[in-house]
Amino acid sequence: MPVMMKAAVFVEPGRIELADKPLPDVGPNDALMRITTTTICGTDIHILKGEYPVAKGLTVGHEPVGIIEKLGSAVAGYREGQRVIAGAICPNFNSYAAMDGNPSQDGSYLIPKGLCGPHGYKATAGWRFGNLIDGTQAEYVLVPDAQANLAPIPDGLTDEQVLMCPDIMSTGFKGAENANIKIGDTVAVFAQGPIGLCATAGARLLGATTIIVVDGNDQRLAVARRMGADVTLNFKQCDVVDEIMKLTGGRGVDASIEALGTQATFESSLRVLKPGGTLSSLGVYSSDLSIPLSAFAAGLGDHKIYTALCPGGKERMRRLMNVLASGRLDLGTLVTHHYKLDDIVAAYELFANQRDGVLKVAIKPN
């Protein structure tokens, strides 16, 4: 086993570069995963731009597919050489936050460093890879609390098919789950990037029978049709709020899902919502939001607004891979480009500028 590895590290706003780093030590509850495929997420672009702060020198990335290289002495039920994924969110499921039903907000591992309250609740702290510990855009990654977070890949599924499970699929599906979708519902999904596309697919699986999606890119709207959208609206060509209200006879949608993280998409998601409806927000926001008074019915509209951080853990990953193994959904089609880890700076440039019809980029160390 080598003692050094290549890794993409955050240098400063505007700069993520490839560097050499030592292989991490494997503790009793950890596993060392050799990365076979990873990818770049929209959140990584927020990090690149300095909109989401992380420590300088941190290895970025949070979507690992790979092979167990080394297991910690306390990790049972797995074997070295096994193909696995780990969720982007890696909680300690023995924590207070996890037992309280909020494992994605678990910061218990930060308590000894004095970076968290005594019970370990800390917003977004369950997101460790590429946020608070070294991430996955590297040749190897250390998976903490490995027995709870490693999920074996079913035979017959490719790296590209399961690459969306650690974050994109889990987050998009959570958006649909948080939207309280019932059979026969009408749902609007704002933005059809990879997460929005997965939210569209999740809404269909949960029983929505009219799914209206909004984006400014006709290619993505075409992909949305394949994911289950019934109506596609290009916001550059129409007033989407007016169109959605016409489509619903002035009633509004039962649920709206915001999958970008801007004032415009959040506000539109609220404006098309029926009284008593649910707004499920998935976007990563970079500035304060304002809530329009009329759309909010002065706080008297019985609206429900839910936010979410991607669920993690091996059971969540198992269920997502079951969906893929069943043939009900193929997310490997979202991988539009392939790059070697050595060329990750070029991959970031492509993805950050949304060139060449990119949806997701598969990054392979070798």
pLDDT value of position 366: 85
Query: In angstroms, rounded to a whole number, what is the distance separating the alpha carbons of residues 15 and 8?
Result: 10
Note the pLDDT of residue 212.
98
Q: Is the pTM of this model over 0.85?
A: yes
Q: What is d(CA 215, CA 125) in angstroms, rounded to the nearest whole number?
A: 31
Spell out, as residue ranges, where the chain has pLDDT lower than 50: none
Residue 16 makes CB contacts below 8 A (sequence gap 6+) with 8, 9, 10, 44, 47, 48, 60, 344, 345, 348
pLDDT tens digits along 347-362: 999 999 999 999 999 9
What is the identity of the amino acid at 242?
A: D
Return the pLDDT at 1: 77
SS3 sequence of the chain: CCCEEEEEEEEECCEEEEEEEECCCCCCCCEEEEEEEEECCHHHHHHHCCCCCCCCCCECCCCCEEEEEEECCCCCCCCCCCEEEECCECCCCCCHHHHCCCHHHECHHHHHHCCCCCCCECCCCCECECCCECCCCECEEEECCHHHHEEECCCCCCHHHHCCHHHHHHHHHHHHHHCCCCCCCEEEEECCCHHHHHHHHHHHHHCCCEEEEEECCHHHHHHHHHHCCCEEEECCCCCHHHHHHHHCCCCCEEEEEECCCCHHHHHHHHHCEEEEEEEEECCCCCCCCCCCCCCCHHHCCCCEEEECCCCCCHHHHHHHHHHHHCCCCCCHHHEEEEEEHHHHHHHHHHHHCCCCCCCEEEEECC
How confident is the model at residue 286, as a pLDDT?
87
pLDDT of residue 167: 97
